[in-house]
Amino acid sequence: MSKITNIFFSPSETTKKVLNQMASNFSKDYEICDLLYFDGEKEFSSDDIVLVGMPVFAGRIPKTARARLSKLTGDNTKAIAVVNYGNAHVTDALLELVDLLDENGFDVIAAASTISHHSIFDGVAVGRPDDSDIGKINEFAQKCIEKIAAGDSLETEIPGNRPYVDYKTLPFIVSCDESKCVFCLECIGVCPEKAIPDDDPADVDLDLCTRCTSCINICPENARAFTGEAFEAKKPAFESANAERKEPEFYL
């Protein structure tokens, strides 16, 4: 019997939400492989089905997520590839994800780019995925189920370019309001780059930090946030430039 696994890297939990919604369409329970925490090898059989979701960081899948996903291998395992972005640009991220899965022994039968509330600029794509998005995600999932039953593979060309766009590190500062911090240490445990010192959760090594937002998202006191002149200068221009609604795209 086929085993279904949801594989995702979701610092702000929006990609996780999309993948779980998609998996709920299958008529069986699914396992979870959360690459924010899991950094080990894993093999999947030809009978397995995997749903793989990645956020888009400046047109690429995150470097750490790519490294962790590279340790997962398939044996002609059926895979659905999804990138989730904040209504700005997918660029090469979906193509990169499909290429990586192909290289690692997965048979990609379908792919999608979906939209969620932007994790850094909170004025973009507010409330998404909304009911319209969820309806389209469910419809796509049903089509994927039909393709898997028919034994079909991906037929549509995925947009993007090779070589992929270069990785980019944002110049924004992630800071902690020490008057709010209760030293729960949740941020230390969730940071995939180990950029927050064990003895000082109010600090962050910006040379290691990828601005993934995991520490901001998990903080129960809302003590962590993006700050600084670069962020404040970019925010209104970015939100204005990406105000027009984009729609999810599906490739079968």
Beta strands in the chain (DSSP E): 4-8, 30-34, 42-43, 49-55, 72-73, 77-85, 106-115, 173-176, 224-227, 249-251
- Is the separation of the CB atoms in 53 and 27 below 8 Å? no
User: Do 126 and 178 share a domain, yes or no?
Assistant: no
CA–CA gap between residue 173 and residue 230 (Å, rounded) = 8
pLDDT at 29: 87
What type of residue is 120? I
pLDDT at 124: 97
Which residues touch 131 (CB under 8 Å, ≥6 apart)? none
Opening angle at CA 36, ends 34 and 37, nearest 5: 75
pLDDT at 251: 98
Ordered per-residue pLDDT tens for the chain, 252 residues:
579 999 999 999 999 999 999 999 998 889 999 999 999 999 999 999 999 999 999 999 999 999 999 999 999 999 999 999 999 999 999 999 999 999 999 999 999 999 999 999 999 999 999 999 999 999 999 999 999 999 998 999 999 999 999 999 899 999 999 999 999 999 999 999 999 999 888 899 999 999 999 999 999 999 999 999 999 999 999 999 999 999 999 999
| Domain harbouring 105, CATH code | 3.40.50.360
Residue 202 lies in a domain: yes
User: Do 157 and 184 share a domain, yes or no?
Assistant: no
CA–CA gap between residue 99 and residue 237 (Å, rounded) = 33
Please give the tally of structural domains in the chain.
2
pLDDT at 80: 98
pLDDT at 211: 95
User: Do 198 and 156 share a domain, yes or no?
Assistant: no
Among 131, 163, 195, the domain-final residue is 163
Among 163, 182, 215, the domain-final residue is 163
Residue 134, CA distances (Å) to 25, 59, 119, 240, 248 in order: 11, 23, 19, 25, 10
Residue 42 lies in a domain: yes
pTM for this one?
A: 0.95
pLDDT at 27: 80
Strands 106-115 and 249-251: antiparallel
Domain region containing 214: 173-227
CA–CA gap between residue 105 and residue 67 (Å, rounded) = 16
